[in-house]
Amino acid sequence: MESPAQPRRVTIVDVARHAQVSTTAVSKVLRNAYGTSPKMRAKVRQAIAELGYRPFAAARGMRGQTYTIGVMLPDIRNPFFPEILDGLTEALDETDYQVLMGPGCNGEAAEARVTEAMIDRGMDGLVLIAPVSPRSHLEQVARTVPTVVVGRHGQSAVYDTVSDDDIAGAALVVDHLVGLGHRRIAHIEHAETDPARMVEMPNALRAEGFRRSMRAHSLEGEAEIVSTTYTQEGGYRGTQQLLTRADRPTAVFAGADIVAMGVLEALDEARVSVPGDISVVGYDNTTFAAFGPISLTSVDQAGRHIGTEAARLLLGRLADRGKPSAQVKLSPSLVVRRTSAPPST
Amino acid sequence: MESPAQPRRVTIVDVARHAQVSTTAVSKVLRNAYGTSPKMRAKVRQAIAELGYRPFAAARGMRGQTYTIGVMLPDIRNPFFPEILDGLTEALDETDYQVLMGPGCNGEAAEARVTEAMIDRGMDGLVLIAPVSPRSHLEQVARTVPTVVVGRHGQSAVYDTVSDDDIAGAALVVDHLVGLGHRRIAHIEHAETDPARMVEMPNALRAEGFRRSMRAHSLEGEAEIVSTTYTQEGGYRGTQQLLTRADRPTAVFAGADIVAMGVLEALDEARVSVPGDISVVGYDNTTFAAFGPISLTSVDQAGRHIGTEAARLLLGRLADRGKPSAQVKLSPSLVVRRTSAPPST
DNA sequence: TTGAAAGCGCTAACAA
DNA sequence: TTGTTAGCGCTTTCAA
């Protein structure tokens, strides 16, 4: 009934024999390496096509490259990350590199496990999206394999970075809300106590940007900060806290769209109308922010562009390991939708 | 300034020397293979710990396994898939296997590219989530590497399957809506013309289940089917079509939650109230369905459980390649929320 | 129970 | 320009 056990995989030796050349020749053609005549290339390419040969990446990795780029991301559920991935895979599509992603990690231990697994599998380069591990660990990884760190500030000599100007993003939000007439504004941040991370993590910078901008408007007394986490749950709980307080804010700046979802849910449950009673602004401009019934005002980070830049930097470092590290910083913009309006009072 | 080029990776040879045993012995301990004395195991384990040795998976793959499971999924944006992944990684967490995912694929060409990339990287097993490729291609993949196909009906002798009873799921929806008093019910399906896929793809079965159930209620004349795609965009366009028709339905059954999002958006735009004017039911019970302001009635597929089952089947096949193929079918349940209510007329 | 030696498929150094 | 040869780090015979 069943088809016979498939014959053993076609190898470079089979191709060499079929094309009547050496295995070295085949290897060179595969890698577009120096020292092959057009005639030989044609012969080899034909043999590859005729035999349906595909190089075995694991074996290639023993000597050279595996042609694999590993992407680590903290949470597949956060709708901001697919944007970055789109940009990344699009830029890598025309190359020989294949992208493989680790499963969502939360916390340092999971991040270490995934990065180690990727290094052990001989990946040629890594893209770490919004990692939480201490910088020393990131640098250790980057010394082993070319690495681009996305969404984290603070430069390093050993890895490249791509990030968005979170201070400026937070200022866009405050300017917008103050411009509408709001004075009492709350911010839901991702709790951060580690001083080292205070200057590197986007969440900490958004909170800092919020503080600075409120001060610039001489509204430091009206700023209210709630520390939870960048999750829907965090937004939900943070809002519940805010609603119990005496002097209720007229606007909430959630540090991420996913947080804003929790904010909207809590407000909905408490029968507080948006933007009638309270305005809500998010960050990331995810697909769901644009979604009609939600229509969330949000800061756009150009996730796709971030992904493209990360790919460009990684390819550059793959081509030249000694190249000095680069820091790309992109500028955010504000997308105003229906969840923000002048305060009613 | 920079730390010196890190020393070459610790290999099995270093461990063997340090423990004063052969490399064979180390290899056996690593794989828990037969023929090692407790004393030797202790010695080797200690040397591994002292040197911080980690096996190089790419090299292991040349002879044996890479301890890597590849997961192919069509679309990272669909909030149903993370559930499956959670179940999968949780079940695999205690094993030596590491999960790596391909980037989202759409269409046969992209699926072929990703599965080939995974096979070329020596992955030990594959989990294909809702693949659209013809069964012959899936079987070819499965003959090369142990494979579990998730979310696709139709059994095969060479791969295991895990799926949900989509016919029953559609019936749950129709029974619920008819029970509320609805008669004129629309269904937005993912267009399917390939007859081979009509019996295998979940979308086709949900449509078939809808038809059968409407017939069972003697409402075949009241059933309205719109063919688009299982995306937010598809739900949006499908609903726009429905709204232009003369005899407007009082309820819409979207084939997936992500489709229901588009439905809600189009209804919102057209100022049609939900559930006042039209009830909406989704499928997948994603996180967003539970989200307060949306509160979508939906069919729950127990995605986490699907992932666990897939892991179990794959581990079984990894342990015994000759084992007969299994088909696991899970039963869906309906979660009633605020988007479904009796019709107003 | 243990270890010596061969070899997986490929690339890189070197020789012709 | 082309081919020969020696490994990469591991697993697997197979002999001791």
pLDDT digit of tens for each residue in chain A (345 aa)? 334 456 688 999 999 999 999 999 999 999 988 888 999 999 999 999 999 999 999 999 999 899 999 999 998 888 889 999 999 999 999 999 999 999 988 889 999 999 999 999 999 999 999 999 999 999 999 999 999 999 999 899 999 999 999 999 999 999 999 999 999 999 999 998 888 888 899 999 999 999 999 999 999 999 999 999 998 999 999 999 999 988 999 999 999 999 999 999 999 999 999 999 999 999 999 888 988 889 999 999 989 999 999 999 999 999 998 899 999 999 999 999 999 999 986
Q: % helix / strand / coil in chain A, to the nearest 5?
A: 45, 15, 40
- Do A187 and A206 sit in the same domain of this protein? yes
Bases in strand D with any atom closer than 7 Å to a protein CB: 1-5, 7-13
Confidence bin at B98 (pLDDT 50/70/90): very high
B320 domain residue, yes or no? yes
User: Which one of B1, B67, B77 makes the best mutation probe of the A interface by having the most chain A beta carbons within 10 Å?
Assistant: B77
Q: Where are the alpha helices (DSSP H) in chain A?
A: 12-19, 23-30, 38-51, 57-63, 81-92, 108-120, 135-144, 166-180, 195-198, 202-216, 232-244, 257-269, 287-290, 303-319
- Residue A237 Cβ < 7 Å to strand C: no
- As a whole number of Å, the CA-based R_g of chain A is 25
- Residue B247 Cβ < 7 Å to strand C: no
A29-38, A190-199, B2-11, B164-173: least confident range: B2-11
Query: Strand C contacts (CB < 7 A) among B residues 44-83?
Result: 62-63
Cβ neighbours of B158 in A, within 8 Å: 2
Report the distance separating Cα A342 and Cα A273, nearest Å.
13
- Residue B37 Cβ < 7 Å to strand C: yes
- Do A16 and A73 sit in the same domain of this protein? no
Nearest to A44 by CA among A9, A18, A72, A8: A18
Cβ neighbours of B58 in A, within 8 Å: 58, 61-62, 66, 120-122
A63 domain residue, yes or no? no
Q: Does A30 touch chain B (CB under 8 A)?
A: no
Q: Does B57 touch chain A (CB under 8 A)?
A: yes
User: Which one of A106, A294, A304, A325 makes the best mutation probe of the B interface by having the most chain B beta carbons within 10 Å?
Assistant: A294
Full domain range(s) for residue B31: 12-54
Q: Which of B2, B68, B76 sits opposite A82 (nearest CB)?
A: B76
User: Which residue's CA is nearest to the C1' of nucleotide C13?
Assistant: A24
User: Which one of A120, A143, A273 makes the best mutation probe of the B interface by having the most chain B beta carbons within 10 Å?
Assistant: A120
Report the distance separating Cα B135 and Cα B197, nearest Å.
9
- Do B81 and B174 sit in the same domain of this protein? no
Cβ neighbours of B288 in A, within 8 Å: 288
Q: In the 8-state DSSP scheme, what is residue B6?
A: P
Among left, alpha and beta (phi > 0; psi -120 to 50; other), residue A340 is beta
**What is the predicted pLDDT for the residue at A344?**
86
Bases in strand C with any atom closer than 7 Å to a protein CB: 1-5, 7-13
Cβ-contact B323, B148 below 8 angstroms = no
Report the distance separating Cα B78 and Cα B63, nearest Å.
37
Structural domains of chain A, count: 3
Chain A residues 277-336 with a CB less than 8 Å from chain B: 287-288, 291-294
- B345 three-state secondary structure: coil
Q: Which of A54, A120, A157 sits opposite B56 (nearest CB)?
A: A120
C2 C1' to B25 CA distance, Å = 7
- Do A134 and A179 sit in the same domain of this protein? no
- A289 three-state secondary structure: helix
**What is the predicted pLDDT for the residue at B135?**
94
B3 domain residue, yes or no? no
User: Which one of A98, A124, A304 makes the best mutation probe of the B interface by having the most chain B beta carbons within 10 Å?
Assistant: A98
Query: Strand C contacts (CB < 7 A) among A residues 30-69?
Result: 30-31, 33, 55-56, 59-60, 62-64
CA atoms within 13 A of residue B210's CA, in its CB half-sphere:
28
A311 domain residue, yes or no? yes
- Do B37 and B104 sit in the same domain of this protein? no
Q: What is the CATH number of the domain that holds B50?
A: 1.10.260.40
C13 C1' to A12 CA distance, Å = 19
Peptide bond preceding A74 in cis form (omega within 30 of 0) = no
Report the distance separating Cα B81 and Cα A101, nearest Å.
14
Report the distance separating Cα B143 and Cα B158, nearest Å.
6
- A116 three-state secondary structure: helix
- Residue A312 Cβ < 7 Å to strand C: no
- Do A136 and A50 sit in the same domain of this protein? no
C14 C1' to A62 CA distance, Å = 20
Q: Does B107 touch chain A (CB under 8 A)?
A: no
Residue B34 main-chain phi, psi, to 5 deg:
-75, 140
Peptide bond preceding A343 in cis form (omega within 30 of 0) = no
Neighbours of B213 (CB within 10 A): 23
Report the distance separating Cα B131 and Cα B146, nearest Å.
16
CA of A293, closest CA in chain B: separation in Å?
A: 6
- Do A173 and A156 sit in the same domain of this protein? no
- Do B179 and B248 sit in the same domain of this protein? yes
Q: Is the pLDDT of residue B190 over 90?
A: yes
Cβ-contact A172, A299 below 8 angstroms = yes
- Do A232 and A285 sit in the same domain of this protein? yes
Q: Which residue has the higher pLDDT, A77 or B21?
A: B21
**What is the predicted pLDDT for the residue at B193?**
85
Q: Which element (helix H / strand E) includes A99? A: strand A98-101
- In this complex, do B264 and A292 lie within 8 Å of one another by their Cβ atoms? yes
Strand partners, A224: A186
User: Which residue's CA is nearest to the C1' of nucleotide C12?
Assistant: A63
Q: Does A3 touch chain B (CB under 8 A)?
A: yes
Nearest to B161 by CA among B120, B130, B186: B130
Q: Which of A6, A144, A157 sits opposite B1 (nearest CB)?
A: A157
B118 contact partners, CB below 8 Å, separation of at least 6: B70, B72, B100, B102, B126, B145
B187 domain residue, yes or no? yes
- Do B175 and B290 sit in the same domain of this protein? yes
A223 domain residue, yes or no? yes
- In this complex, do A1 and B54 lie within 8 Å of one another by their Cβ atoms? no
B147 domain residue, yes or no? yes
Q: Does A157 touch chain B (CB under 8 A)?
A: yes
- Do B98 and B203 sit in the same domain of this protein? no
Range from A70-84, B156-170, B278-292 that averages highest in pLDDT? B156-170
- In this complex, do B122 and A56 lie within 8 Å of one another by their Cβ atoms? yes
- pLDDT, one tens digit per residue, over B313-343 is 999 999 998 899 999 999 999 999 999 999 9
Q: What is the CATH number of the domain that holds B281?
A: 3.40.50.2300
A344 domain residue, yes or no? no
- Do B156 and B228 sit in the same domain of this protein? no
Q: Is the pLDDT of residue B345 over 80?
A: no
